[in-house]
Amino acid sequence: MEFLTKIALAFEHGGFWMWPILLIQIFSIAIIIERVYALYIRRKLDQTSIALGFEENIRRGEMDNLISKAQAMMAQNPVARAVAAGGIAAKNFGGKDEIQGKMDEVLLEENAHLDRRTAFLSMLGNVATLTGLLGTITGMIKSFAAVAFANPAEKASLLSAGISEAMNATAYGLITAIPALVAYAILQNRANRLAEDLNQGGLKVFNWLSYSYEPITSYQVKTSKADRQAEVNS
Q: How far apart are CA 8 and CA 2, in angstroms?
A: 10
Residue 86 lies in a domain: yes
Predicted TM-score (pTM) of this structure: 0.78
Domain count, the chain: 1
Let me know: does 177 contact 166? Beta carbons within 8 Å.
no
Inside any domain, residue 225: no
φ/ψ region of 151 (left if φ > 0, alpha if ψ in -120 to 50, else beta) reads beta
Tens digit of pLDDT for each residue in 65-108?
A: 888 988 888 888 889 989 898 888 888 776 788 888 889 999 99
Residue pair 90/212 in contact by the 8 Å Cβ criterion? yes
Q: pLDDT band at 216, cuts 50/70/90?
A: very low
Q: How far is CA 233 from CA 221, 226, 229, in A?
A: 18, 11, 6
Q: Residue 227 domain-assigned?
A: no
Given phi > 0 = left and psi -120 to 50 = alpha, else beta, which region is 215? beta
pLDDT for position 2: 67
pLDDT of 43 strictly over 70: yes
Distance (Å, whole) CA 82 – CA 99: 10
Q: Please tell me the distance from the alpha carbon of residue 208 to that of residue 211, in angstroms, as a whole number.
A: 5
- Domain of residue 54: give its range: 10-215
What is each CA distance from 4 to 1, 128, 158, in whole angstroms? 5, 22, 25
**234, part of any domain:** no
Q: Which residue has the higher pLDDT, 138 or 225?
A: 138
> Would 131 be classed as within a structural domain?
yes
Q: Is residue 204 part of a domain?
A: yes
What is the percentage of the chain residues whose pLDDT exceeds 90? Answer: 32
Q: Quick check: is 60 in a domain?
A: yes
Which range, 81-85, 176-180, 202-206, has the best average confidence (pLDDT)?
176-180
| Residues 118-170 pLDDT 10s | 999 999 999 999 999 999 898 888 877 776 666 766 767 777 777 888 888 89
Residues 121/187, Cβ–Cβ less than 8 Å: yes
- Of the candidates 29, 22, 23, 27, the residue with the CA atom closest to the CA atom of residue 179: 29
Amino acid at residue number 135: G
Q: What is the mean pLDDT of residues 35-62?
A: 88
What integer pLDDT is reported at residue 34 of this predicted model?
A: 95
Q: Is residue 209's pLDDT more than 70?
A: yes
